[in-house]
Amino acid sequence: MITPELHILTRTDLAALEIGPGEVIDAVRDAYVAYAEGASRNPTKMMMTVPTGRDAVSYSMLGFDGALQQVGFKTSYRQGTGNPDKYYTTISLYDDKTGLPFAFMDCHRVGGSRTPATTALIAEACASEGARSALMIGTGRQGLNTLPYLATRLPHLEKLRFFGTHPDGVRATVETFHEYFPGRELERVHDVPAAVSDSDIVVAASGRAAHPPVKTSWLKPGGVLISVSSKGVDSSSLADADYAIATNEGQLGVTGSRFDTADGAAGIDAEFPDVLIGRKPARRGQADRVFAFSSGMVITDIPVAHALAHKAIEAGLGQKVRLWT
């Protein structure tokens, strides 16, 4: 009889593991394709605010990655949107081939990898022909890897810029980019509206931002605005777009309800997995201003977590726990 056991992996265990942008982007793309083709399942995430007046919110996501045949449960809790030290997120994986539990691990690095991978894939699919510039707004965890992932997937981008106000975040953004692209120039901007109007691809991943809320109407014709669940995006941005995409329409209703119009729930033209496999177009015309709402889907967490777990186990990291004995 096989005794079920979990590999427990901490944030420290996962921190030094090498996993490049290309590997993560390929894993996330495979996950979206499997979902679009009906092999995976991704129920809408559950969100609950905590009624204590502490500005706390919790999330729960369940999914099945048909490519890996892994079931994943992800949980997140944050007390105070401005306090990164009070944000905790975990993921547990179960192998559907063997019917056994596999890993329970910190999900901080997973989320910080699969989110920019999704951004890069959306940018690649939705950017207009001839796009040459990208702007990253925000220097927190969600945006830290965005520019190197964009440069990996869209090597033809000539101008890469960012906006940030927190000194540690600014420094980390520059250092992280130059780890992957030591010879490339990265420009810091200070006028967000002007930089948006001069960029082909705009990624907003700012929280309670120190900049005017970004509007789709600021984009140049053919521009694309990708909101990574950003509070720094104006609530008019979806309605004002010529074409609108979401990673998942159900999750847009949960985490993007502020984009609802007075007439009802916000509507989109396509879900991104359908765009990725060619079932739906990424835009109607080259001059369209495109808005894309990116809300994390657990099917993209699962393959990244699975890859990191395997690397950690092969390196002898973590510990095994026989929880069910």
Q: Both tokens of residue 227?
A: 């909101």
| Cβ atoms of residues 170 and 139 within 8 Å | yes
Question: Measured between alpha carbons, how far is residue 123 from residues 181, 223, 226, 283 in Å?
Answer: 19, 10, 8, 12
**Which 3 state secondary structure label does DSSP give 56?**
strand
Average pLDDT over the chain reads: 92
The percent of residues above 90 in pLDDT, for the chain, comes to 74
Same-domain check for residues 234 and 154: yes
100 found inside a domain: yes
Same-domain check for residues 153 and 277: yes
Angle between helix 167-180 and 146-153 (nearest 10): 30
Same-domain check for residues 106 and 152: no
Sign of the torsion formed by the C-alpha atoms of 67, 99, 117 and 253:
positive
State residue 173's pLDDT score: 94
State residue 232's pLDDT score: 86
Q: What is the CATH number for 62?
A: 3.30.1780.10
Same-domain check for residues 36 and 153: no
155 found inside a domain: yes
In this prediction, residues 193-208 reach a mean pLDDT of 92
Of 176, 179, 227, the closest CA to residue 201 belongs to 227
State residue 150's pLDDT score: 97
Query: Which residues touch 158 (CB under 8 Å, ≥6 apart)?
Result: 132, 133
> Domain containing 48: what range?
6-110+299-321
1 found inside a domain: no
Residue 1 has pLDDT above 80, yes or no: no
DSSP state of 220: P
Question: Measured between alpha carbons, how far is residue 212 from residues 35, 163, 231, 301 in Å?
Answer: 36, 12, 11, 31
Of 100, 89, 39, 47, the closest CA to residue 64 belongs to 39
User: Helices marked H in the chain — which ranges?
Assistant: 11-15, 21-36, 108-126, 146-153, 167-180, 192-197, 249-255, 272-276, 298-314
The 10 Å Cβ neighbour count of residue 181 is 16
State residue 97's pLDDT score: 95
Percent helix / strand / coil, the chain, rounded to 5: 35, 25, 40
- What residues are paired with 106 via a beta bridge? 90
Same-domain check for residues 18 and 123: no
Q: What is the distance between the alpha carbons of residues 176 and 186, in angstroms, rounded to a whole number?
A: 11
Render pLDDT for 125-160 as a digit per residue (tens, 0 to 9): 999 999 999 999 988 877 789 999 999 999 999 999
189 found inside a domain: yes
57 found inside a domain: yes
Same-domain check for residues 267 and 128: yes
Same-domain check for residues 137 and 229: yes
State residue 73's pLDDT score: 98
State residue 83's pLDDT score: 61
Render pLDDT for 98-130 as a digit per residue (tens, 0 to 9): 999 999 999 999 999 999 999 999 999 999 999
pLDDT band at 49 (very low <50, low <70, confident <90, very high): confident
| Cβ atoms of residues 112 and 310 within 8 Å | no
Same-domain check for residues 94 and 124: no
Point out the least confidently predicted range of 77-86, 160-169, 206-215. Answer: 77-86
Same-domain check for residues 134 and 103: no
- The residue that leads in pLDDT, 232 or 174, is 174
289 found inside a domain: yes
Same-domain check for residues 157 and 248: yes
Q: What is the CATH number for 271?
A: 3.40.50.720
Residue 265 has pLDDT above 70, yes or no: no
Point out the least confidently predicted range of 27-36, 191-200, 225-234, 258-267. Answer: 258-267
Render pLDDT for 202-227 as a digit per residue (tens, 0 to 9): 999 886 667 889 999 999 999 999 99
pLDDT band at 261 (very low <50, low <70, confident <90, very high): low
Question: What are the phi and psi torsion angles at 181 (to 5°)?
Answer: -130, 75
Same-domain check for residues 146 and 204: yes
Of 261, 262, 260, 226, the closest CA to residue 246 belongs to 226
Point out the least confidently predicted range of 41-50, 127-136, 190-199, 213-222. Answer: 41-50
Domain count, the chain: 2
99 found inside a domain: yes
Same-domain check for residues 163 and 264: yes
